[in-house]
């Protein structure tokens, strides 16, 4: 395990990390299931919960106070032991403590550059994609749609703002620390972490839901991309809704993490033991071919899947109804609030709204219509209208 960890971050086992406060480290051990086995007044001895997979001699020895000469050395040794037991990096565990509970998503890029460096366009693409990935997965917790609405929930945007990105040694590793508790959480769990204790973390905090969604969406996206690449499934398979089906924004983010040239990259998900239901660390390798398929899938969903809650404002330029009464069809030439582009949109109207459209066409008034946007080639239609009305002209009451 140690070799695999070293290969990921390109560092030696003894590389320094941020040294946490003793009280925070002790609080972490208790919350992560470690047991205080001995206290001789100078040091404390901790052991993990009994496990069939861990040697019985696994232990951590800590000083009882920070004011000892080798404090940093002992704490770094404790972090390395925790890293071995949890299959995580020492840096991830240190960040976990600093945030009072945090998961980690890291991306290892492979640019043609010296170790630890990357072209600006690649780093910018990857960081932007990471942010969009977090927002999209946070939005997907409440928006069960393959194409997300143009306006993201405030909670999703606020959570992405809480995340912190750093670099690790290696080819070029971007490490994203995602707090378990978000700013919208109420009660004691929303308080700021102190040097005396960790946050009181709910059993299923918002941050864990986000990182679990990110992992599940990435795994399903890679599996579908591999099957499409092998010719076993068509690209339209991405349009089949199901558990953890990645939305278009998640697919686009996974496609752009390798940069404009789609360089191969690895993405690693590591979850804190401070919240229940933590997965074992998982690592995926996304090939250039898979990235291109993911980008094509994102475009496919956006052109083939309905987009909910789209408002169009414009002039009625065409009307059609089979008889003198009943429902009919109108064509609105205007701008939609999803893209800001001027196009023509077909709408099916009941008799009342059709009569309004007739009035608008005769008087030159604009109308506003809100519904689900469906795109088939160059044809755009609004279905399942939730509102249709005339906009008053200048001088109208």
Average pLDDT over residues 224-236: 94
Q: Lowest-confidence range among 29-33, 303-307, 389-393?
A: 303-307
Residues 117-127: tens digit of each pLDDT: 889 999 999 99
**Residue 330 pairs with which residues in a beta bridge?**
319, 347
Q: What integer pLDDT is reported at residue 193 of this predicted model?
A: 46
The predicted-structure confidence for 173-182, as pLDDT tens digits, reads as follows: 999 999 999 9
Structure confidence by residue, pLDDT tens digits, 69-109: 899 999 999 999 999 999 999 999 999 998 889 999 999 99
Give percent above pLDDT 90 in the chain. Answer: 61
Q: Which of 29-43, 247-261, 367-381 has the highest mean pLDDT?
A: 247-261
Flag the least confident range among 171-185, 312-326, 365-379. 365-379
Domain 308-390: state its class: mainly beta
Task: List, by residue range, all CATH 2.40.50 domains of the chain.
Answer: 308-390
Average pLDDT, the chain: 86
pLDDT of 392 reads 85
Mean pLDDT value across residues 12-41: 81
Q: What pLDDT shows up at residue 186?
A: 54
Lowest mean per-residue pLDDT among 68-77, 137-146, 190-199, 371-380: 190-199
Please state which of the ranges 4-13, 39-48, 286-295, 313-322 shows the lowest mean pLDDT: 4-13
Q: According to the per-residue pLDDT averaged within each range, which of 97-106, 234-243, 297-306 is highest?
A: 97-106
pLDDT at 19: 84
Residue 128: pLDDT over 80: yes
Instruction: Please report the pLDDT score of residue 76 as a whole number.
Output: 92
pLDDT at position 380 is: 87
């Amino acid at each position: 395990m140690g070799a695999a960890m070293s290969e990921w971050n390109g560092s030696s086992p003894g590389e320094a990390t941020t040294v946490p406060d003793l009280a925070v480290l002790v609080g972490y051990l208790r919350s992560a299931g470690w047991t205080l086995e001995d206290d001789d007044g100078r040091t404390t001895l901790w052991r993990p919960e009994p496990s069939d997979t861990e040697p019985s001699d696994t232990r951590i020895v800590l000083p009882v106070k920070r004011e000892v000469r080798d404090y940093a050395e002992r704490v770094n040794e404790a972090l390395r032991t925790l890293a071995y037991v949890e299959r995580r990096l020492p840096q991830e565990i240190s960040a976990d403590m600093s945030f009072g509970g945090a998961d980690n998503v890291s991306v290892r890029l492979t640019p043609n550059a010296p170790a630890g460096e990357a072209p600006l366009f690649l780093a910018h693409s990857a960081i932007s994609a990471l942010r969009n990935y977090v927002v999209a997965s946070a939005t997907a917790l409440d928006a069960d749609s393959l194409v997300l609405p143009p306006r993201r929930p405030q909670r999703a945007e606020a959570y992405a703002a809480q995340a912190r990105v750093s670099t690790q040694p290696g080819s070029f590793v971007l490490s994203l620390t995602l707090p378990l508790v978000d700013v919208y959480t109420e009660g004691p769990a929303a308080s700021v972490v102190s040097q005396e204790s960790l946050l009181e973390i709910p059993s299923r905090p918002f941050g864990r839901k986000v990182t679990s969604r990110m992992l599940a969406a990435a795994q399903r996206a890679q599996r579908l991309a591999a099957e499409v690449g092998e010719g076993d499934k068509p690209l339209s398979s991405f349009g089949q809704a199901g558990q953890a089906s990645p939305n278009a924004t998640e697919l686009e983010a996974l496609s752009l993490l390798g940069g404009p040239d789609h360089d191969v990259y690895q993405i690693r998900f590591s979850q804190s033991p401070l919240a229940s239901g933590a997965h074992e660390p998982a690592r995926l390798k996304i090939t250039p071919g898979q990235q291109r398929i993911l980008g094509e899938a994102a475009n496919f969903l956006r052109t083939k899947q309905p987009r909910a809650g789209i408002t169009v404002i414009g002039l009625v330029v065409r009307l059609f109804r089979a008889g003198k009464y009943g429902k009919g069809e109108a064509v609105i030439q205007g701008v939609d609030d999803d893209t800001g582009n001027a196009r023509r949109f077909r709408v099916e109207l009941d008799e009342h709204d059709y009569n309004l459209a007739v009035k608008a066409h005769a008087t030159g008034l604009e109308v506003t219509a809100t519904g689900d946007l469906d795109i088939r080639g160059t044809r755009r239609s609004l279905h399942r209208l939730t509102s249709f009305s005339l906009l008053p002209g200048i001088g109208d009451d």
